[in-house]
Amino acid sequence: MVSQLPNLVIAADWSVDPNKRWMARADLTSEGRYMLYPPETVGNLSNFLSRIRQIAGPRRTAFVGFDFPIGLPRSYAQAVGIHSWRQALDKFGSSGWENFYNISDDPSLYNPFFPLPKQRGERGSFRGQLTQRLGFSSFDQLKRRCDIQAKAESLFYTLGPKQVGRAAIDGWRYVLGPAMDYIHFWPFDGRLCQLLERSGIVIAEIYPREAYRQLDIRMGYGTRRAKGRREDRKAVSYELLSRIKKNEWISVSKAAESCFAWGFNSDDDFDAMMGLISMIRILIGAHACTIPENDSKVLSIEGWILGQQP
């Protein structure tokens, strides 16, 4: 359990489509419990974190999880001479990096996102093209250590249902970059317990599949349950709600309880709530927050998925 619980916890399930960007929120009550509220759409990106800061209040702390990559593959960072995540975020979009956030059919090290969504064809060939054009010998070199462990897609690959590049572009360019002066990044800026002792906003990367694992939620291949089906979400939500009600650290508002009972509106708001609960469990010590302490590249440039065990 962290020594200083944040006043506000938010999990944001991200998407390129604004209608599919949802966040779930919990407030720390005077009794020391987290009250869950129903998910809501993220809204305007340009003032998202400033709104969070206002909700949290002065000299208070907000803990925000984003479902998009926060960090760069070490091989890529070495190739372009970047040594830290903050250095990277400060460079992207500026002189020499003007095209970094533009998806291209002719990728390069300084314009690495590929291919344009209009492309059709064998996805394996596109991965090979991206690897070759950026000057690497293996596609895995375009993944972070946590991506490989989570079986996640490469940051720079922008095609298919598992792609995360387009969401990262919006998140880095319009949300994280403009707020660098008043946000703290886990794990780049320090241990979670240390960051939460400061006022302001602490940012972490979350991942729905990891949240499912932490919450022992079985959905997807081989389970006969799909998160795209409301009845399946409803069944899983009912089981989870019964567990939550036995937890002395979490309360559920009536409005949020109705979301659990209905099975949520979509897999997007469902994922946001699952991410939120997994974040709270880490804060209260129900799940360990560990990282590869002996891997300097994870701590400086690659980052880590919250709750993932190394």
188-229: pLDDT as tens digits: 999 999 999 999 999 999 999 999 999 999 988 888 899 999
Q: Which of 181, 155, 135 has the alpha carbon at shortest distance from 69?
A: 155
Same domain, 27 and 159: no
Same domain, 199 and 273: yes
Question: How many domains, in total, are found in the chain?
Answer: 2
Instruction: Tell me what the pLDDT averaged over the chain comes to.
Output: 95
Per-residue pLDDT reduced to its tens digit, 121-173: 544 589 999 999 999 999 999 999 999 999 999 999 999 888 999 999 999 99
Same domain, 50 and 186: yes
Same domain, 56 and 97: no
Asked whether residue 183 is domain-assigned, the answer is yes
- The pTM of the full predicted model, rounded to 2 decimals, is 0.95
Asked whether residue 297 is domain-assigned, the answer is no
Query: How far is the C-alpha of 3 from the C-alpha of 260, rounded, in Å?
Result: 30
Per-residue pLDDT reduced to its tens digit, 4-39: 999 999 999 999 899 999 999 999 999 999 999 999
Same domain, 250 and 189: yes
Residue 282: pLDDT band with limits 50, 70, 90 = very high
The boundaries of the domain holding residue 257 are 8-69+174-283
- Kind of pairing between the strands at 22-28 and 8-13: antiparallel
Same domain, 178 and 261: yes
- Residue 291: Cβ-neighbour burial (10 angstroms; 0-12, 13-18, 19+): buried
Asked whether residue 288 is domain-assigned, the answer is no
Same domain, 32 and 21: yes
Asked whether residue 291 is domain-assigned, the answer is no
Query: How far is the C-alpha of 242 from the C-alpha of 136, rounded, in Å?
Result: 49
Same domain, 181 and 273: yes
